[in-house]
Amino acid sequence: MRIKDISKENRPRERFLKAGASSVSDAELLAIILQTGTKDENAIDISNRLISKYGLDKLSELSLNELQEIKGIGPAKAMQIMALFEFNKRHAISKRDDKPIKCAKDVYEYALPLLSGKDKEHFMILHLDSKSRVIKDEIISIGTLNASLVHPREVFKSAIKESANAIVLVHNHPSGDYTPSQEDKEITERLFEAGEVLNIKVLDHVIIGKDGYWSFKGN
């Protein structure tokens, strides 16, 4: 069925105009963004198929090439989908500006937009000022976490350079499971001890998972 064959009051754009964005489904919102379908499927059918197969989380993680491998999705539609999720991510990042980091949940909400969808572990340092606001976030290493990649020298050189009052350690688990590994525990203990020697406060180490986080400080 073509969208123009749907009664006017039931078309996504018309309902959006009449009752607002909340009145349309996820698939209908995506259809409005995609604008057109193919000769075999209208934009709503394509959107329903994508969301049914991948879900919003998985769909947001697909690359440009992966999207174009899906039936009905060419370069233009692939870019529209990626632009949608990238805009959403940037919006989430903009909302956290100047919000102080007071607990592990604050760390999670700050870092999640930056680390979600990564297929490798990223070890990040949050540099905080005296009011616990982030001066700078910096990726120290990318790859499986180990002592050679995350060395106290690199971690605290960055903190000293930024004149940070304190730092928070953050890394993601691409598997989505935020349970710390033995390597995570050993590196955390090593960095906490180094912070005490250098008199630089290490407030926490937070592991970012798909649906939650782990705090080594337990808050």
Q: Report the predicted TM-score, pTM, of the whole model to 2 decimal places.
A: 0.64
Q: Using one digit for the tens of pLDDT, what is the confidence trace for 166-201?
A: 999 999 998 889 999 998 999 999 999 999 998 899
User: Which CATH architecture is the domain 3-94 placed in?
Assistant: Orthogonal Bundle (1.10)
Which among 26, 82, 87, 45 has a CA at the least distance from the CA of 16?
26
Among residues 99, 145, 151, which one has the least CA distance to residue 122? 145
Selection from 183, 59, 68, 37 nearest residue 123 by Cα: 183
Express each pLDDT in 94-111 by its tens digit. 766 678 999 999 999 999
According to CATH, where is 1.10.150 located in the chain? 3-94
The mean per-residue pLDDT over the stretch 17-39 comes to: 90
DSSP 120-135: S-EEEEEEE-TTS-EE
Alpha-carbon dihedral angle through residues 89, 94, 97, 99, given to the nearest 10 degrees: -60
DSSP assignment letter at 140? E
- CA distances (Å), 106 to each of 15, 40, 81, 102, 111, in order? 37, 46, 28, 6, 9
CATH no., domain 99-215: 3.40.140.10
